[in-house]
Structure 1
Amino acid sequence: MPQRPPVNPQNVPVAPSTANFDFYVLALSWSPSYCADNGNRSDARQQCGVGRNYGFVVHGLWPQYDRGFPESCRHDQANDQVPRDLVSSLSDIMPAAGLMRYQWRKHGTCAGISQRDYFTTMRNAYQAVTIPPALRAVSTPRSVDPQLVEKAFIAANPGLPADAIAVTCNRRRLQEVRICMDKNLKFRSCGEVDRNSCRSRSVNLLPNR
């Protein structure tokens, strides 16, 4: 999918002081890796169908503690369905309605804001990050060093600290890039997240599909 130019998020919905978390993690999933394992599932067709051509998509926006994270919090909208207009409006960055429902119930309910404000914040967080040009569209499989992927994101995003990003891998494939942000969506350090980076020096980067 084409990458929008980065924007400075405006009118970020503010989490109230009663929201019990320290910062957000924006998790960007490399869609071809997900689809290699899940593409035949009926609930993955929206993301993995022929010609979808997704690269990095949003896996979630996760409220975090400095150590650990909250989940499935009390919220008066906890059991609400995600309206169709929201599903449609986010389909370019989160192309799976089932994933949206799951992320809302497990993570969004802990952000201390409404369902609609949570997904607005997710969109703003995504737009605050620049995907490196070399990682927007990949036409052939290749091997990459996760540390070089991390450095490419740091170079493309001025002010992103080295300890505010983690590149993860699974089954020798590039899996996710996780970026830590404060409640105003400014990059911030996050030692626990950073320590969970992939330790391999070479992983497979599958092409867009």
Structure 2
Amino acid sequence: MSFTRIVSRLAGGLVFLSLFIGSANAQQDRRQNEAGKFNFYVLALSWSPSFCESRGERAPRQQCGSRPYSFVVHGLWPQYERGYPEYCQVPAPRLQREIMTSMLDIMPAPGLIYREWDKHGTCAGTSARTYFENVRKARAIVKIPEQFLDPKEYQTVSPDEVEEAFVKANPGLTREAIAVDCDRRHLREVRVCMTKELGFRNCAEIDRRACRRDKLVMPPVRGGS
């Protein structure tokens, strides 16, 4: 086969692939960022000591002061089976200060609460009050394993160990419904997939994006050694 024909066939294949990808993207775009049009939630639980240690002097005082926070809520994120919506109302409806302050016990940073409402909450298709009620309900459903409630010393863990501990502590939760997120050194988050009714459910894409490191550091809660 001549070089010219090879190049022609390759070019044709690339055009077909481009059209296929464009068609797939168009199918998602028809509901992209439409409030209430999503498949499931991800409850993201941030290991607060890792966040505070990584931020250093830039760490927010509300979260990284003397209070012994362990896992705190990062957010409750609407998801598609692939990808997710964001900023579904621009500008977002104003979040009442009273709702924000009511969430500080589990989301201990005002700026985080406002950002989560703007980026993710507006995609839930509910009022702000209902959305944050669901955040609290989702957090109450997930039981934190005892060894992670108030550790006083640095721990070295593997993602598998953390997932297994959550699975054992939460009947009905499977390894395919939870993922650990990390940076180069620290365990950053545990992400739990939940239905719109806040039951546990599997989520292949979230599971695929999980941390692949062998060992992670979990700093102790504030007041530890």
Q: 1:154 & 1:166 partners in 2: Cα distance?
A: 11
1:126-162 C-alpha deviation (Å, 9 max, x unpaired): 0010000001111011211110000000000000021
Alignment equivalent of 2:57, drawn from 40, 44, 69: 40
> Which position in structure 2 is the counterpart of 1:65?
80
CA distance in 2 between partners of 1:130 and 1:165 (Å): 13
Report percent identity of matched pairs.
53
| Shift in Å, 1:38 | 2.0
1:101 matched to 2:114? yes
Note the alpha carbon deviations across 1:93-150, whole angstroms, 9 max, x for none.
1000000000000000000001111100000000010000001111011211110000
Question: Which residues in structure 2 correspond to 1:46-195 (within 5 Å)?
Answer: 46-49=62-65, 51-74=66-89, 78-80=92-94, 82-195=95-208
Could you say if the C-alpha distance between residues 41 and 173 of structure 1 is closer, same or farther in structure 2, counting changes exceeding 3 Å? same
Specify the alignment match of 1:29 in structure 2: 46
Q: Is the 8 A contact 2:173 2:201 kept in 1?
A: yes
Whole-angstrom distance in 2 between the partners of 1:108 and 1:190: 20
Which is greater in Rg?
Answer: 2
Equivalent residue, structure 2, for 1:4: none
- C-alpha separation between the residues in 2 aligned to 1:84 and 1:21? 27
Question: 1:200 aligns to what?
Answer: 213
Name whichever structure is richer in helix by fraction. 2
> Aligned partners of 1:99 and 1:39: how far apart in 2?
17
CA contact (8 A) 2:100 2:114 kept: no
Retained in 1: the 8 A contact 2:35–2:123?
Answer: no
> Which residue identity does 1:157 align to in structure 2?
N
Question: Any conservation in 1 of the 2:117–2:128 contact (CA below 8 Å)?
Answer: yes
Secondary structure in 2 matching 1:166 = strand
For these two proteins, the number of residue pairs brought into alignment is 189
Partners of 1:39 and 1:48 within 8 A in 2: no
TM-superposed deviation, 1:39: 4.4
Distance 1:201 1:96 in 2: 31
Unaligned runs of 5+ residues in structure 2 are 1-33
Question: What is the TM-score of this pair, normalised by structure 1?
Answer: 0.86
C-alpha deviations, 1:47-70, integer Å up to 9, x for none? 001x21100000000000000000
Moved over 3 A (4+): none
Structural RMSD (CA): 1.6
Give the TM-score normalised by the residue count of structure 2: 0.80
Return the structure number with greater relative CO, CA threshold 8 A, min gap 6: 1
